[in-house]
Amino acid sequence: MKKIFIDTNVLLDLLLKREPHYACTALVFDWAVKHKNNGVALLISSQSIINAHYILKKQIKEEILRAALNNICVTCEIIDLNKDILVKSFSSPFGDFEDATQHVCALTADSDVILTNNERDFRNAIIPVMNADEFWAVLSTITIKDA
């Protein structure tokens, strides 16, 4: 599992240090950054960056929030929303359009897994879906060569 697509709620858990998932989310991000040269990539949609800013702007000072999101942009590969992704999302089996766009972004990027802490939102996913705790447990049992 080298291409890890990050759902917006995971990003929020990281930036807000929300438990119960923060500890494992931080471990996954640290692991991915450490293994970037081995082909591990964190992927996130441009939509998640925008949504995170919108949600967090009342909770985190603007300059701190912008610096944190900029760091995410440097750390992660950004999957841009485009017309093709939007059109595919409209016809997806997902009831929630935002979840549909996340799923189509993950598929477009050939992600190996979607990391979300709302797994029920991705019941119709074509690729594996895990929460941060489950993903960290899997990482703990494999080597980077297998990842």
Task: Report whether 94 contacts 124 (CB < 8 A).
Answer: yes
Mean pLDDT of the chain: 93
pLDDT in tens, 83-94: 999 999 999 999
Q: For a pLDDT cut of 70, what percent of the chain falls above it?
A: 97
Q: For a pLDDT cut of 90, what percent of the chain falls above it?
A: 88
pLDDT at 139 > cutoff 70: yes
- Position 37 confidence tier, pLDDT thresholds 50, 70, 90: confident
Sign of CA dihedral 32, 5, 10, 54: positive
Residue 143, pLDDT score: 55
Q: Is the pTM of this model over 0.75?
A: yes
Cα–Cα distance measured from residue 48 to residue 104, given in angstroms and rounded to the nearest whole number = 13
